[in-house]
Amino acid sequence: MPLVDITYAPDLPHEVLRKLAEMLPHAVSVAVECPEEPYDGDLRPGDVELRFRARGPFDISEMDVVVEVRSKWTESRAENRQERVDDLCGAVEEVTGPAQVGVYLSLPVAAWSQS
């Protein structure tokens, strides 16, 4: 289950944020899909958690949008993580247009449980 934090410039149009909220669950699922956790295209509650936060007055960033994805480490994810993050960054850029975008993929050793 990926956790996704999206930090964005306060002047980013609401329509862009709405489009990101629509496309990110699928795009992130594709980016972290692996044999250990296959993605069947049918997202259910808890599969991807998105958290949006406007950049604050004391944040320092040149980026209009930063997407941070955390999903637990697997060997198959780690093998091609740069390709995965590059593809996800491209998908985000399609939605944000000329905005400066950064995508960070973190694969910590982790566990997840939910009710």
Residue 15 above 80 pLDDT? yes
**According to the model, what pLDDT value does residue 52 have?**
98
86 within some domain: yes
CA angle 108-67-60, nearest 5°? 105
What pLDDT, on a 0 to 100 scale, did the predictor assign at position 113? Answer: 79
Question: How much is the pLDDT for 45?
Answer: 84
Q: Which residues form the domain of 57? A: 3-106
User: For the chain, where are the E strands, in sequence order?
Assistant: 3-8, 49-54, 65-70, 101-106
113 occurs within a structural domain: no
**∠ CA 65-80-73, rounded to 5°:** 80
pTM: 0.92
Whether 114 is covered by a domain: the verdict is no
Domain with residue 15: its CATH number is 3.30.429.10
Structural domains in the chain (count):
1
Q: Residue 115: inside a domain, yes or no?
A: no
